[in-house]
């Protein structure tokens, strides 16, 4: 039995979630997941080879994670996508798996568009010639409609995004997966669905203050437990860059050293800092590329540094 089928919090002698004895063995007595394991399909997931085939032309698959909400993860994802797409020969895709809070369509200014199916699969919505996205927000009748789904339905739509979306005959240079905060159903669904297709790594986004840093520690532990390589940490909202006087000030003081100290502690790369800039928020509201609208600003330079891996 593969070790990966045994959850970390499983009781002793757990038979594994893919075993025919899952949820039925003596060791399962008292486990809160016993009923789920007993009724879930057994054996390897037949969709995994299909997802692997679908994504074989995607050169890099990168998760964007954050330990808590409000750190600007979706803002960072969209602006990083714009930074990659600034190179016209690169094809960039964004999968929004924040099912209950899909903000990517607004930030890419495609809220009036809808996903539709064709003979080759679901067609992503294009924000520009070389930047496409898929999101639950592109399936709603109204942008403000609430998505009230339980775990299995959320997991199902995430699997469909990875299995059924047609990214074109030439594939993608990079696929960014924007996740919700924390380490929950959506994250596990992405990791399990990409088991064969592979994940190149994860970028973790935090803000400088300790309350955010502590949550990123949990995210780092999640990556370690599920075997995802951490490509690096990004410190978002790293000081405030005044567009008038051009002076910087710390809105969220890094009382314990911020992301740079955390990266050093865990021996992972520190990819850079992106300071607060009100013009960045305006660009996201309008679906604009900040690096194109305001080149040379500290925030644009920070985003460019991360996209270039420097």
In the prediction, which pLDDT does 263 show? 95
Task: Tell whether 31 is in a known binding site.
Answer: yes
pLDDT exceeds cutoff 80 at 27: no
Residues 6+ apart with CB under 8 A from 97: 158, 161, 177, 178, 179, 180, 186, 189, 190
Cα 302 from Cα 234, distance rounded (Å):
9
CB–CB of 107/78 below 8 Å? Answer: yes
Task: Tell whether 69 is in a known binding site.
Answer: yes
Task: Tell whether 30 is in a known binding site.
Answer: no
| Pick from 200, 117, 124: nearest CA to 168 | 124
pLDDT exceeds cutoff 50 at 179: yes
Q: What's the average model confidence in pLDDT over 158-166?
A: 96
Q: What is the pLDDT of residues 36-74, one digit of tens each?
A: 677 666 667 889 999 999 999 999 999 999 988 889 999
Alpha carbon 147 to its chain's center: 18
Cα 303 from Cα 274, distance rounded (Å):
7
Mean pLDDT of the chain: 89
Angle of CA points 158, 77, 226, to nearest 5°: 50
In the prediction, which pLDDT does 213 show? 94
Q: What's the average model confidence in pLDDT over 163-171?
A: 94
Domains in the chain, ordered, with CATH? 1-43 (no CATH), 48-307 (3.40.50.300)
Return the percentage of the chain with pLDDT > 90, whole number: 62
In the prediction, which pLDDT does 44 show? 74
Task: Tell whether 28 is in a known binding site.
Answer: yes
Task: Tell whether 14 is in a known binding site.
Answer: yes
Q: What is the pLDDT of residues 109-154, one digit of tens each?
A: 999 999 998 899 999 999 999 999 999 999 998 888 999 888 889 9
Cα 65 from Cα 53, distance rounded (Å):
25
Q: Which two tokens stand for residue 59?
A: 């050169």
Task: Tell whether 133 is in a known binding site.
Answer: no
Q: What's the average model confidence in pLDDT over 188-192?
A: 92
pLDDT exceeds cutoff 70 at 240: yes
Task: Tell whether 72 is in a known binding site.
Answer: yes
In the prediction, which pLDDT does 3 show? 40
Tell me the C-alpha to C-alpha distance, in Å, between residue 269 and each of 155, 211, 231, 301.
Answer: 30, 21, 7, 18
Task: Tell whether 100 is in a known binding site.
Answer: no
């Amino acid at each position: 039995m593969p070790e990966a089928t045994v959850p970390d919090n499983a009781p002793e002698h757990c038979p594994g979630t893919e075993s025919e004895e899952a949820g039925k063995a003596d060791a399962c007595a008292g486990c809160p997941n016993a009923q789920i394991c007993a009724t879930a399909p057994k054996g390897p997931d037949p969709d995994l080879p299909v997802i692997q085939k679908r994504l074989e032309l995607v050169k890099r698959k990168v998760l964007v994670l954050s330990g808590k909400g409000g750190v600007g993860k979706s803002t960072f994802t969209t602006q990083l996508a714009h930074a990659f797409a600034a190179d016209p020969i690169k094809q960039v895709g964004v999968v929004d798996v924040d099912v209950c809070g899909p903000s990517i369509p607004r930030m890419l200014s495609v809220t009036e568009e809808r996903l539709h199916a064709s003979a080759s699969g679901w067609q992503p919505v294009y924000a520009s010639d070389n930047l496409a996205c898929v999101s639950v927000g592109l399936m709603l009748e109204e942008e403000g409609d609430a998505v009230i789904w339980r775990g299995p339905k959320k997991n199902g739509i995430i699997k469909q995004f990875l299995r059924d979306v047609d990214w074109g005959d030439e594939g993608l240079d990079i696929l960014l997966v924007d996740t919700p905060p924390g380490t929950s159903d959506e994250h596990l669904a992405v990791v399990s669905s990409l088991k064969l297709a592979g994940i190149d790594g994860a970028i973790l986004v935090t803000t400088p203050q300790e309350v955010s840093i502590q949550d990123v520690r949990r995210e780092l532990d999640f990556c370690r437990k599920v075997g995802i390589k951490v490509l690096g940490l990004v410190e978002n909202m790293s000081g405030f860059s005044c567009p008038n006087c051009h002076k910087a000030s710390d809105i969220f003081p890094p009382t314990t050293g911020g992301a740079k100290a955390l990266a050093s502690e865990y021996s992972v790369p520190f990819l850079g800092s992106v300071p607060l800039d009100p013009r960045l928020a305006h660009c996201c509201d309008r679906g604009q590329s900040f690096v194109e609208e305001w080149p040379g600003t500290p925030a644009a330079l920070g985003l460019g540094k991360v996209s270039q891996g420097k």
